[in-house]
Chains A and B, each alone.
Chain A
């Protein structure tokens, strides 16, 4: 059974378009995250979200917005795509604030290429 799933796996699009990446977890976790991994493999947090709060990395452009229809889903919407948005985007989930169960479980990643 897939624990954290993302769709699509690959996304190729033109500059200026708007796109979404979907994420679902079936682990019963209370917190979900979006990370961006650039070409140098640096994994950078973009958002974390549970039913109480949304924490946004202040360096993330407001063209990026998370949407959570329910506890098991956290989708990422990107408006007006730019060349620099090309990267691999990982969704993750965890039990937040519970020591020894705070492991991050990652989805398979979505490779976004902006042309």
Chain B
């Protein structure tokens, strides 16, 4: 069974700090990795996607992928209270188009 694990949190960081969100996955054949942000009462929306080992940066967000360690992370620099949300990690295995989602990590950025 394919599993995607995340610490449910909440992860609490002060405004301006770096928030680090982590995700591990069980299927070594996984090829596509996604971070979705979900505000309370809203639907998930894509923050970042990453397909190759290494870092991918987009504004204040950096996704990091290490396939050997089966680990993907999301760094949020200069965290803002508006970043407070649940962050869902999703993984696509090779040959599948149905992602497996983690349970999400709740992030709280306090002023």
Contact = CB atoms under 8 A, between A and B. Distances in A.
Interface of A: 31, 33, 40-45, 48, 55, 90, 94, 96-97, 99-100, 102-104, 106-109
B46 A100 contact: no
Interface of B: 31-32, 34, 36, 38, 42-46, 49, 51, 86, 88, 90, 92, 97-101, 103-104
B42 A42 contact: no
B40 to A, nearest CB: 10
Given A41-B86, A41-B104, A100 B43 contact: no
B42 A108 contact: yes
| 10 closest A-B pairs by CB | A96-B97, A106-B43, A43-B101, A103-B46, A42-B103, A97-B97, A48-B98, A106-B44, A41-B104, A109-B43
Contact of A104 (B44, B86, B104): B44
19 contacts: A41-B86, A41-B104, A42-B101, A48-B98, A90-B43, A96-B97, A97-B97, A99-B31, A99-B51, A100-B49, A100-B51, A102-B92, A102-B97, A104-B44, A104-B90, A104-B99, A107-B43, A109-B42, A109-B43
A102 B46 CA distance: 11
A106 B45 contact: yes
Contact of A43 (B31, B44, B92, B97): B44
